[in-house]
Amino acid sequence: MDAAEFRTRYRGVMARLNHAFGVADEAAFETLVGELYAERDLTMRTGIAKLSQSLANALMRFQLDSRVASLAEREIPDARLRLDHVLKMTEEAVHHTLDLIEQAAPLAEATTRSARVLADTLDDRSHNDIRRFLGEVQENAERVRANLTEVMLAQGFQDLTGQILHGVRTLIGEVQVVLDDLAQISGIPAATATGQGSSVASGPAVPGIATGAVVDQQDVDKLIAGLGI
Amino acid sequence: MGSSIRFMVVDDFSTMRRIIRNFLNDLGYTNIVEADDGKTALPALKAGEVDFLITDWNMPGMQGLELLRVVRGDPGMKKLPVLMVTAEAKREQIVEAAQAGVNGYVVKPFTAAILKDKIDKILSAQAAG
């Protein structure tokens, strides 16, 4: 409190204390000292209230720190595994697509060739409908062949998305190092898992993370059959 | 078609190497070797087994730009045509590659027409030079 506040607060009691002291009124003097103690008590209680508020804040912070531990120990490494899985899945899908393109392209080329050879053997004066049909076959097969090339080049997306994912993966790794340090410095115990109900949709199963996840359609069929469906 | 030209495709992504290889096959070039970074590419390049180099930029190990500088700094390889096919698309990067002596620069994702055009241009410039 400032000087003015201090004077206002104690002026009355001081005057009365002085008076009781001057006239040697011991009883009045004792009562006034009691009042002063009560005043002091109130200040102390205010202090305790402030202290308990700080304690509550500290406890709240501790919960946040537990979240840090949970991130460092489980969620961040899981996020990296998820990204690795996405990288692997897209790479496999692209190779599979390229396999199919490599198989289909020669078929389209052979169809174009055969249609041309056959059309050449036909008499110009007859088989108009067949020649028209063979012309269409050539044209369509050529278009299919050209589209296969474009589909193949479009698979280049995996290179681009893969580079971006690699970048995010590196970033996550750096965040994990920081979080590990934080958790270690504050000596926080490992967080207890926040239970997630099995009915909550969590997206595709990621190997190394998903527990109790089915593996393939056969497993699904077996599981479904086992449930009597 | 100039099917006797020996190509090398350098990219750390196996999918991209396969795409470029297939595309070269479509153009009639069947003599193709692959490498996944500059370091693994160098032995065949130094041995003179390659006539045309197609390289990515961003790779672990030796990057494409460094590979290009090594190639341009080596008396035996310095005239090798180099086409960079990369996702690096910043102006200053393209300038840097040009200053290092690249013959062509294709930004991913690319179309069949663009890739064919760059390869043809480099080959015809080489034939004229």
Q: Which of B13, B58, B112 sits opposite A153 (nearest CB)?
A: B112
Distance CA A145, CA B58 (A): 31
Other Cβ atoms less than 10 A from the Cβ of B75: the count is: 6
Interface of B with A in 87-106 (CB under 8 A): 87
Of B56, B52, B119, B115, the residue nearest B87 (C-alpha): B56
Residue type, A32: L
- Contact flag B110-A153 (C-beta cutoff 8 Å): yes
B9, B11, B15: best to mutate for the A interface, most A CBs within 10 A: B15
Q: State the average pLDDT over residues A206-214.
A: 65
What contacts A222, CB < 8 A, 6 or more positions away? none
Q: Give the A-side interface with B, CB within 8 Å.
A: 91, 94-95, 98, 101-102, 105, 149-150, 152-160, 162-163
**What is the number of alpha carbons within 13 Å of residue B27 lying toward its C-beta?**
23
Residue ranges of the domains in chain B?
7-128
Q: What percent of chain A has pLDDT over 90?
A: 40
Q: Which residues of A touch B18 (CB under 8 A)?
A: 95, 98
Of B75, B51, B71, the residue nearest B123 (C-alpha): B51
pTM above 0.80, yes or no: no
pLDDT in tens, A34-70: 888 887 888 888 888 888 888 777 767 766 677 777 8
Q: Which residue of A has its CA nearest to B58?
A: A163
Q: Which residue of B has its CA nearest to A93?
A: B15
pLDDT in tens, A144-194: 999 999 999 999 999 999 999 999 999 998 888 888 777 777 665 554 444
Does the domain spanning B7-128 belong to CATH 1.10.287.130?
A: no
- Contact flag A152-B58 (C-beta cutoff 8 Å): no
CB A17 within 8 A of CB A37: no
Distance CA A50, CA B5 (A): 83
SS3 assignment, position B12:
coil
pLDDT of residue B16: 96
SS3 assignment, position A19:
helix
Q: Which of B13, B23, B26 sits opposite A162 (nearest CB)?
A: B13
pLDDT in tens, A61-118: 766 677 777 888 888 889 999 999 999 999 999 999 999 999 999 999 999 999 999 9
pLDDT of residue A205: 72
Determine the longest span between alpha carbons in chain A, in angstroms.
147
Q: What do you get for the CA distance between the two ends of chain A, in Å?
A: 78
Count helices and strands in chain A by DSSP H and E runs: 6, 0
The sheet with strand B32-35 has its strands ordered as B32-35, B7-10, B52-55, B82-86, B104-107
Of A68, A71, A72, A81, the residue nearest A165 (C-alpha): A81
Q: For residue A228, what pLDDT band results from cuts at 50, 70 and 90?
A: low
CB B62 within 8 A of CB B37: yes
Q: Which residues of B touch A105 (CB under 8 A)?
A: 26
Q: How far is B129 from chain A (nearest CA, A)?
A: 31
pLDDT of residue A195: 43
Of A142, A118, A144, the residue nearest A132 (C-alpha): A118
Q: C-alpha angle A12/A14/A18, rounded to 5°?
A: 120
- In sign, the C-alpha dihedral spanning A202, A207, A212, A216 is positive
- Contact flag B109-A153 (C-beta cutoff 8 Å): yes
Q: State which residues of chain B have pLDDT below 70.
A: 1-2
Q: For residue A5, what pLDDT band results from cuts at 50, 70 and 90?
A: confident
Kindly tell me if the per-residue pLDDT of A197 is higher than 60.
Answer: no
pLDDT of residue B21: 97
B17, B22, B108: best to mutate for the A interface, most A CBs within 10 A: B22
Q: Which residues of B touch A150 (CB under 8 A)?
A: 111-112
Pairing between β-strand B32-35 and β-strand B52-55 as defined by DSSP bridges: unpaired
pLDDT of residue A192: 45
Which of the two residues, A216 and A125, has the higher pLDDT score?
A: A125
Mean pLDDT for all residues in chain A: 83
Q: For residue A210, what pLDDT band results from cuts at 50, 70 and 90?
A: low
By the CB < 8 Å criterion, does B14 face chain A? yes
By the CB < 8 Å criterion, does B58 face chain A? yes
Distance CA A143, CA A139 (A): 6
Distance CA A178, CA A127 (A): 78
Which of the two residues, A51 and A1, has the higher pLDDT score?
A: A51
pLDDT of residue A212: 59
Q: Which of A94, A105, A149 sits opposite B15 (nearest CB)?
A: A94
Q: For residue A203, what pLDDT band results from cuts at 50, 70 and 90?
A: low
pLDDT of residue A62: 66
